[in-house]
Amino acid sequence: MKNTILKSTVLLFALVLTAFTSVEKKQVDTDQSIINWVGYKVTGQHEGTITLQQGSLEFNKGQLTGGNFVMDMTSINTTDIQGDYKKKLDGHLKADDFFGVEKHKKATLAFKSVTKNETNYSVVGDLTIKGITNKVSFELAVSENTATTTFQIDRTKFGIKYGSASFFDGLKDKAIYNEFDLKVSLKF
């Protein structure tokens, strides 16, 4: 009798706990999701894409609570130019003085905290590029099966110093700004 009561109590407790911690993990559709980047230099800018290799968002009772993402850094692609100059720039972005994709094929983002505000979510996460992890903060808008954000990343915090006037003197109009933009649209 005691054994039956104990089993019933444990089962009831497990059901109640499950009801209060119903986290739903939604896989991101990598074919329908887009990551665009824009890098700036004194004389202009370049833009392109990076492929999302995998990702998921976590929800609890319909509220965003977490997320994890892996980007394929070997997929860096410049979209605003063509021909030999495109090949040269894509190759340079993949080289060691930029993203070093031969050694660092992936970049990751793991949400560490998510706070709901009036219209969006404020997210703080750990972004890892070239094996270096730094905190990033951004606003994420979520509606139905889409999540979108735009935020800046300081590349020098990840050891990418090429062309930075913060580290090299005399660059003049060859300087590349430290920050680049990411514009992300996720489908899940």
d(CA 56, CA 100): 26
The mean pLDDT of the chain is: 92
**pLDDT at residue 15, rounded to an integer:** 45
Handedness of CA 68, 129, 167, 36 (dihedral sign): negative
User: What confidence tens digit (pLDDT) does each residue in 12-30 have?
Assistant: 454 444 445 689 999 999 9
Query: Which letter, b or e, does each residue of 36-72 get, where b requires 16 or more Cβ atoms within 10 Å of its Cβ?
Result: ebbbbeeeeebbbebbbbebebbbeeeebbbbbbbbb
Sign of CA dihedral 87, 91, 93, 99: positive
The pTM score is 0.86
CA distances from 72 to 18, 101, 174 (A): 35, 9, 28
Q: Which residues contact 73 (CB under 8 A, 6 or more apart)?
A: 50, 94, 99, 101, 104, 105, 106, 107, 129
Burial class (CB in 10 A: 0-12, 13-18, 19+), 184: buried
In the structure encoding, which two tokens stand for residue 53, read together?
């290799």
Length of the chain: 188
> pLDDT tens across 52-80, in order?
999 999 999 999 999 999 999 999 999 99
Confidence of residue 3 (pLDDT cuts 50, 70, 90): low
CB atoms near residue 34 (< 10 Å): 15
Task: Name all domains of the chain by residue range, CATH numbers in brackets.
Answer: 23-187 (2.40.128.110)
Measure the CA angle with vertex 81, ends 79 and 85; round to 5°: 125
